[in-house]
Amino acid sequence: MPIGVQSIIAVGLGALIGTVAPGAGEQMKILGDLFLNLVQVVVLPLVFPLIVLGIARMESVKKVGRIAGKAILYFEIVTTVILLIAVGLAKFTGIGKGAPVRAADAKDLDSLSQGIDFHELILHAVPKNIFAAFGEGNLLGAITFALLVGVAMAAIGEKAAPFASVLESVAAVMFKVVGYVIRVAPLGVLGFISYDVAYYGFGNLRSLAGFIAVVYAGLAIVIGVLFPLIAALYRIRYIDLLKSIGSLAGIAFVTRSSEAVLAPLMGKLEAFGLSRSTTSFVVPLGYSFNTDGSVLYQATALVFLANAYGADTSLPALLLMVGVLVILSKGMAGVASASVVVLIAAGNSIGLPAEGIALLLGVDFIVDMARTGVNVIGNSLAAAVVDGSEKRREAKRGPRQDADQTHTDDTTSGEPPFDRTLQKDTAQ
């Protein structure tokens, strides 16, 4: 039976258990936690060698910088457009007016961070101990270190070949392990759905139905309108891309963790036709800087709370809200309910009480599923856009480079092309 079908059955069974036997449903959360632990234990051992090899095999350090620049520019533009869509939709529908925010309990927020320390965020991206970073699951720090190692390997050329072989073996083994782990995904789905239904229930759904509907409508606009427009602009087969990653987006939807599918996602994108060097660099970077679904939720939530408390929702105030979220949404980890942390910080910065945010926690698991699934689709599209841009650039330069390198190729025909490129870069 396909994994997708098994997961659908697990959703129905989990909802039934959570409704009929809430006590048992809450206890079944251990199945979901075990699945996430299995996935997360293999994320860094797989992502690190892929990023290092991807960078080492790029033609030059200039290409690394070019791809990073393209990716970050794309992330900034797309997330800003999504924020504007969310704010406009929430303002148009007027959600939040009359919401029972006074009855919310701010104690629910005690376990969450009340802000984001950008000083700590920068230090987090440059760890002083790479082994500690691996132990903590610090993805951003691992990317930084992998970038340095990849550039160094490209610089020393043939001497890096033995280490590259080791990294290739590690990556192949980790891909195999990921395949084993994904087979038990339906058990994780069963555990998470049972717990969510048993613990959260459906008490707040009626009062917050409008908020949930607007968030889902906004995400539908992003998936059904914005992303297809971007794909058409860059000549990407969007429907085929969705078919390729659909099952993984579904797993992310249920588990509410984009990290749960990070490793298999890169394999799916490579099978779709994207180059490994681009995918292994852009996708992990996007997990921190391209949370499309999450930023839409945050903008919608802030307008909801502003309306509920009667705060200023004029155009300048809304634009200020968007600007705050553009800054705060970067560096968000791909873990469950991380959006709430950013939402708290953004709410504090524009003067919204924490009690209202506490109200949204009751339905956070419902919107969290959708926004996490959209995050996975958005990062896949980002990798496809950057990869397509690089391939078109190489296609335009190809004939000229072939003519320029004819003599060089004749004199070094006994060496692999990759080694020749590394030698020329080292000489430069």
Nearest to 365 by CA among 254, 245, 214, 262: 254
For range 385-398, the mean pLDDT:
82
Confidence check: pLDDT of 254 > 70 = yes
Asked if 47 and 276 count as a contact pair (C-beta separation under 8 A), the reply is no
The most distant pair of C-alpha atoms in the chain lies apart, rounded to whole Å, by: 79
What mean pLDDT, rounded, does the chain reach? 77
Percent of the chain whose predicted confidence (pLDDT) is above 70: 76
- HSE, CB side, 13 Å, CA atoms: give it for residue 394: 12
Weakest-pLDDT range from 1-5, 89-93, 197-201, 222-226: 1-5
The structural domains of the chain, with segments of one domain joined by +, span 3-427
Region of residue 310 (left: phi > 0; alpha: psi -120 to 50; beta: else): left
| Paired tokens of 394 | 């190489």
At residue 85, the pLDDT reads 92
What is the DSSP annotation of 186-236? HHHHHHHHHHHHHHHTTTTTTTTHHHHHHHHHHHHHIIIIIHHHHHHHTT-
Other beta carbons within 10 Å of 178 = 22
| Paired tokens of 343 | 């939402």
Q: Tell me which architecture the domain covering 3-427 has in CATH.
A: Orthogonal Bundle (1.10)
Q: How far is C-alpha 90 from the geometric centre of its chain's CA atoms?
A: 24
Q: At what angle do helices 292-309 and 61-93 cross, to 10 degrees?
A: 30
Nearest to 266 by CA among 10, 33, 42: 42
Confidence check: pLDDT of 378 > 80 = yes
Percent of the chain whose predicted confidence (pLDDT) is above 90: 14
Confidence check: pLDDT of 88 > 50 = yes
User: In this predicted model, which residue has the larger pLDDT, 126 or 403?
Assistant: 126
Give the confidence band of 328 by pLDDT, cuts at 50, 70, 90.
Answer: low
Q: Which residue has the tokens 């579904």?
A: 250
Confidence check: pLDDT of 106 > 60 = no
